[in-house]
Amino acid sequence: MIKYQLNCKKCHKKFDSWFSSSNEYERLKKKKLLNCISCGSIKVEKSLMSPNFFSKNNKITTQDEKKVLEIRNKLKEYKKFVEKNLDYVGDDFAYEARSIHYGGKKRKKGIYGKASKEEIKDLSEEGIETQVIPWLEDKEN
Ligand SMILES: [Zn+2]
């Protein structure tokens, strides 16, 4: 659906009208089926831009931004949870994960840290389960 603002050239009345497409507008105009709602004249023209058409698009953008914010907030909460409950091992993640798995190294908490895609693949092939989570850097907070 497209909303056009129509202007009557005779009485200068401005009014909104809905069309299923811009083609429908042209079709009705050709058949002289477009009338001014005020004086009934068929000398009506659509405005070049319809403000409502744009506000509709803006609405979608706002919703998308809201979704992005929601996800960011969830990630922040998740990050807090991980930081509180797991030990950070930084770049030694693969090494530490193996030492727990093979060496029976006991840790009170689980670990988290950085690992490359290859390291994660190797670990999973060795039967060491890891979970990849998207991470927000502190500077982005
Ligand atoms: Zn009119």
List the chain domain ranges: 2-45, 61-140
Distance 5 CA to ligand 1 centre (A): 13
For residue 97, how far is its CA from the centre of ligand 1 (angstroms)? 78
Dist. CA 17 → ligand 1 center (Å): 14
pLDDT in tens, 92-139: 999 999 998 888 878 888 889 988 889 999 999 999 888 887 777 665
CA gap 90, 36 in Å, rounded: 71
Give the pLDDT confidence of 4-60 residue by residue, as tens digits: 889 999 999 999 998 888 889 999 999 999 999 999 999 999 876 544 444 455 555
Q: How far is the CA of 46 from the centre of ligand 1 (A)?
A: 13
Say how many Å lie between the CA of residue 40 and the centre of ligand 1: 6
Instruction: Report the predicted TM-score, pTM, of the whole model to 2 decimal places.
Output: 0.48
The alpha carbon of 25 and the centre of ligand 1 are apart by a number of angstroms equal to: 17
How is 83-115 classified by DSSP, letter by letter? Answer: HHHEEEEETTHHHHHHHHHHH----SSEEEE--
Which tokens is 11 given?
Answer: 């009485």
The b-or-e profile of 82-97 (16+ CB within 10 A means b, else e) is: eeeeeeebeeebbebb
